[in-house]
Structure 1
């Protein structure tokens, strides 16, 4: 009887040992939002967990308003680094707030501080045996009067692409794929991906809402699905374990 109990405990402990943690670091486009049953705003990493089997735990550490600089300076990265273990994964998507040139606590030059902060996330993840995955920032809904989607992120996506290439990091060009998403919906229907409400249309807002950066549940779900689709396509052996856990 004791042998059976020990065997059961061993099998159970091995099951737990195989659990993989997927950390998500970034800004409000990724972050969990309070009161999700009532709040129309959702981050795309907020809706990731249901897309994975039980052996993957999504730990969404993205926070509203953070840049690479403030995420590091507030010791948020340290708290993740200290808990990283071999076999974990780290989704890294910054840029929206690194652009805030009027705010010295957040702004980074894309070619210097931003670049080296990304390199820090990559190298320190790898030090722990974790697998970093770089993502460019999602596109804003920014159509001009001709219906052309105009980019808003400057050189930040370029530097993310370059770091991914130079350090051989698994990479998802989320700016590109979300540009396609916005263009597919078009100038008017793409409002459904974001937060557009007239006065009294949604009880969560007491004023008119027209936000082309942050995501509705529909927008977050669409982008999470894009991320999963692209993970499946990346030919990198370090992602095999994560791929096997996709539903």
Structure 2
């Protein structure tokens, strides 16, 4: 009996060790939301597990309201980097809250602190043998009165692109692809990708809701699909395991 228990534990340990973690770090556009059965808001990384086979384990550590600065200062990154093992992946998507210039706990200059925080995530992931993947922030639904989608992220996506290029990091330009998504729906229908409800229309909101940053479940799924489609197209040998485990 003792031998059987030991053998079972060994098999379980080996099986778990063979799984690859996909850590997601970022802000509320990625984060898991409470009460997902009732809450219409979803982060796109919240729905990501369903796109992978069981050998990839999505560990979504994105948190509402965080910038690269606050994510580091709150020791959230340290807690993740300690657990990274060789062959794990780290999705990195920040920018929405780094731009909060009125908040000293979150704001970063895109060309200095933001840039160097991204470099830190990249270098420290690689030191553990993990593979970083850099993403630009997803677009906001921000149409002007002429129906033109106007960008809101300033120079943060540019710096993400530059860091990816300089450090040869796998990169997906989520801003670009989600701009195309918003434009394909147009000014009115794109509301379905986000959180637009009249008071009483949804039990979760007792007042009118008009949120063009955060995502509905539909929006989260469509953006996760964009990520998966672009991941498949990346030509990088370090992504072989994760790409091979897409359903």
- TM-score w.r.t. the length of structure 1 is 0.96
Query: 1:229 and 2:229 equivalent?
Result: yes
Separation (CA, whole Å) in 1 of partners of 2:85 and 2:107? 30
* 1:123 matched to 2:134: no
Structure 1 residue 129: deviation in Å?
A: 0.1
Partner residue, 1:91: 91
Does residue 111 of structure 1 match 2:111? Answer: yes
Query: Aligned residues, how many?
Result: 247
Does 12-21 or 52-61 show the bigger shift? 12-21
Separation in structure 2 between the aligned mates of residue 13 and residue 105 of structure 1, nearest angstrom: 41
Task: Give the superposition deviation at 1:3.
Answer: 9.8
- Against the structure 1 CA distance between its residues 6 and 62, is the aligned structure 2 distance closer, same or farther, given a 3 Å change threshold? closer
State the 1:14 CA deviation.
Answer: 3.4
Partner of 1:23: 23
**What residue number does 1:49 align with?**
49
Q: Could you say what secondary structure the match of 1:134 adopts?
A: strand
Matched, 1:147 2:157: no
Residues 137-173 of structure 1 show CA distances to partners (whole Å, capped at 9, x for unaligned) of 0000000001000000000000000000000000000
SS of equivalent residue, structure 1 residue 114 = helix
Per the TM alignment, residue 13 of structure 1 is displaced from its structure 2 partner at its CA by 4.1
Gaps of 5+ in 2: none
In the TM superposition, residue 11 of structure 1 has moved relative to its aligned partner by 5.4
Cα distance in 2, alignment partners of residues 214 and 9 from structure 1: 42
Structure 1 distance, partners of 2:90, 2:69, is 17
Runs of 5+ in structure 1 lacking a partner? Answer: none
Distance 1:237 1:2 in 2: 43
Structure 1 window deviating more from structure 2 (140-149 vs 11-20): it is 11-20
Return 7-16 or 191-200, whichever deviates more. Answer: 7-16
> Displacement of 1:18 after TM fit?
1.1
Deviations 1:99-141 (A, max 9, x none): 0000000000000000000000000000000000000000000
Comparing 51-60 with 5-14, greater Cα deviation is found at: 5-14
Q: Find the aligned partners of 2:107 and 2:37 in 1 and give their Cα distance.
A: 33
- 1:6-29 deviation digits (Å, cap 9, x = unpaired): 887765543322100000000000
Distance in 1 between the 2:4 and 2:37 partners? 45
TM superposition shift of 1:213: 0.2
C-alpha distance after superposition, 1:41-60 (max 9, x if no partner)? 00000000111111111000
**Normalised TM-score (structure 2):** 0.96
